[in-house]
Structure 1
Amino acid sequence: MARNTAEAWLPEEWETSKVVQSILQVSAVESLAARIPMGSDTKHVPRTAGMDVAVVAKGGTYGEDTSLNDEVLLSAVKFGKAVRIAEEDIDDSVANLLDAKMTGWGKSYAKLIDNASLAVSAASNGTTVPFTSLYQLLNTTDSGLGYTGGANITTAASAGVPSYTEFSTAIGSVETGDYFDPSSMVAIAHPAFRSSLRGVKDSQQRPIFLQGTAGTPDTIFDVPIRWSLGAKLAATATSSPAGRPIMAFVNPELMLLGIRSGPESVFIDGRDGLSALTDESILKMRARRGWAYGHPAGASILVG
């Protein structure tokens, strides 16, 4: 990010920004989710329970579908940070200090948005728990959707060493649902699963984890894996979660990421105002996002 004294929020260029590219490399949610533009703080997104189909006889009457239609609400939450930088550090640095700070913020944001969207284990409060995470969604009964809380969550009996049966049960929970789509399913998992996966084999001693080569992704049960450092359970959203790792089997089409603004930054020059007494400038960075998962039957989670 170039130094700018206009003191206006500058959006990062999506195609060329190093900040954006680092976010997409680290965040599974930012890179995989359906991006929903938001023109205000909230947006209602349609959710359907599906639509039936039946044979219609020649000249016969079309039957009417009775599937429920409802919606999910995306509420934009601001993720930001400010850093105070001495003028000497900016002028004397060989590297672009502002670029380095912005890239560092982007990587932390990427882990935070994944954790907030996937693995926070508490109800949303709009602040420390910005969204209803996928884990919380799957842990909550929704009688209107016919879903029982915990039905699609499998917890390993031995922490850190899930068995073949537990991996199979976890993916099987979503494979038997109406929202299973083998062409688009992705597993989002914390890298802590890598070591345990290497030793897991099926009944014919075939490994269920295959490491990708030449640009192809790692896979489990032929499902591509996207690794995420934010995929660990936490009581509140954080960029450094410390709970048990999760592997979420998801349909990216049901991952709804509301885009209100950002990532963007503003550089406030320290040559005027109170900061003029200390020769310090301020760099502020933010992104405003909303999140919801379309239907609990369309995902499952293994807690490692």
Structure 2
Amino acid sequence: MARNTLEAWIPEEWETSRVVQSITQISAIEALAARIPMGSDTKHVPRTAGMDVAVVAKGGTYGEDTSLNDEVLLSAIKFGKAARIAEEDIDDSVANVIEAKMIGWGKSYAKLIDNASLAVSATSNGTTVPFTSLYQLLNTTDATLSYTGGANITTAASSGAPSYSEFSTAIGNVEVGDYFDPGSMRAIAHTAFRKSLRGVLDTQNRPIFVEGQGGTPDTIFGVPIQWSLGAKLSATATSTPTGRPLMCFVNPELLLLGIRSGPESVFIDGRDGLSALTDESILKMRARRGFAYGHPNGASILVG
């Protein structure tokens, strides 16, 4: 991971980088979302309300579909940080200090991108609230899409574990919609749900939560779960959210993650330019991402 160049940002290799591996292990969004390449700061992505079908008689006229066609806008936001590293730490340490810093940044970024995409409760401003999160989307009425704000959000009534009925209601809100796909549906949940889920039984005393074995994922109602440390409510995007945990039922095809650049880094040698006044080098890390969820009727949330 040591850098010898000052000319350009160096992207992490997606297949082999330990930084990328740590990000995809922690971030549900980076692991599951449809990746949309972005050649500029913004990109319009088509969104459709579906297409109808009807019987056509022999020699008859095809009816025309009237479903809404529109688009969502992805805007690339930069997530970054810089770290000063003393020359002594680089030269004397047996451990790779630069790689350790990069992996630490990757883990924080993984929680931040999930929190920004799923759980921020405020309206997007492009800075402290980078995107319209899934929670905010489901809280907002959109008459054009025939969606009423809050319709697909279930809030647990008790301060303890959510009940079977509350879990069932939450997943049921998306199961009755046109965007439910049993083959691809996923649950994204904060790890706080693991403890409470272990004791929840259905009406026939069967557990709704099954822990995975031999590499298979954990499931709830047969739906694979992707755990996320960023899936907690927060007023602004943060890698350390402290609000109520969320369980989100989503169609990954509607999770749209714009990829502008990164993760990438640049190493500025402490013996160059103004940095030469100290025996410190600077490591800068960043990723540029956009996010949107395709349709509010295609997701639901349980607030724990």
Contact kept in structure 1, 2:3 and 2:266, CA below 8 Å = no
Equivalent residue runs for 1:51-66 within 5 Å: 51-66=51-66
How far apart, in 2, do the equivalents of 1:186 and 1:204 lie? 24
Moved segments of 4+, more than 6 Å: none
How far apart, in 2, do the equivalents of 1:36 and 1:3 lie? 29
Counterpart for residue 242 of structure 2: 242
Deviates more, 1:159-168 or 1:177-186: 159-168
Counterpart for residue 70 of structure 2: 70
Q: Structure 1 counterpart of 2:132, which letter?
A: T
Counterpart for residue 49 of structure 2: 49
The alignment yields a C-alpha RMSD, in angstroms, of 0.7
Counterpart for residue 270 of structure 1: 270
Contact kept in structure 2, 1:160 and 1:193, CA below 8 Å = no
Gaps of 5+ in 2: none
How far apart, in 2, do the equivalents of 1:38 and 1:129 lie? 20
How far apart, in 1, do the equivalents of 2:159 and 2:43 lie? 39
Q: Structure 1 counterpart of 2:285, which letter?
A: M
Contact kept in structure 2, 1:7 and 1:269, CA below 8 Å = no
- Deviations along 1:185-212, one digit per CA (max 9) or x if unpaired, are 0000000001100110011111100000
1:160: how far off? 4.0
Q: Structure 2 counterpart of 1:245, which letter?
A: P
* Length-normalised TM-score, structure 2: 0.99
- The percent of aligned pairs where both chains have the same amino acid is 86
Instruction: Return closer, same or farther for 1:8/1:187 CA change in 2, 3 Å cut-off.
Output: same
Counterpart for residue 226 of structure 1: 226
- Deviations along 1:19-41, one digit per CA (max 9) or x if unpaired, are 01110000000010000000000
Counterpart for residue 101 of structure 2: 101
- Deviations along 1:143-187, one digit per CA (max 9) or x if unpaired, are 000000000000000134100000000000000000000000000
Counterpart for residue 114 of structure 2: 114
1:90: how far off? 0.5
How far apart, in 2, do the equivalents of 1:242 and 1:87 lie? 36
Equivalent residue runs for 1:160-239 within 5 Å: 160-239=160-239
Q: Structure 1 counterpart of 2:64, which letter?
A: E
Contact kept in structure 2, 1:159 and 1:244, CA below 8 Å = no
How far apart, in 2, do the equivalents of 1:228 and 1:58 lie? 53
Secondary structure of 1:256 counterpart: strand
Q: Structure 2 counterpart of 1:28, which letter?
A: A
Secondary structure of 2:276 counterpart: helix
How far apart, in 2, do the equivalents of 1:109 and 1:260 lie? 15
Q: State the number of aligned residues.
A: 304
Is the counterpart of residue 26 in structure 1 residue 15 in structure 2?
Answer: no
Secondary structure of 1:59 counterpart: coil
How far apart, in 2, do the equivalents of 1:189 and 1:280 lie? 41
Equivalent residue runs for 1:70-89 within 5 Å: 70-89=70-89
Deviates more, 1:2-11 or 1:259-268: 2-11
How far apart, in 2, do the equivalents of 1:120 and 1:209 lie? 26
How far apart, in 1, do the equivalents of 2:100 and 2:160 lie? 35
* Length-normalised TM-score, structure 1: 0.99
Contact kept in structure 2, 1:218 and 1:224, CA below 8 Å = yes
Secondary structure of 1:99 counterpart: helix
Contact kept in structure 1, 2:271 and 2:279, CA below 8 Å = yes
How far apart, in 2, do the equivalents of 1:3 and 1:266 lie? 7
Gaps of 5+ in 1: none
Q: Structure 1 counterpart of 2:180, which letter?
A: F
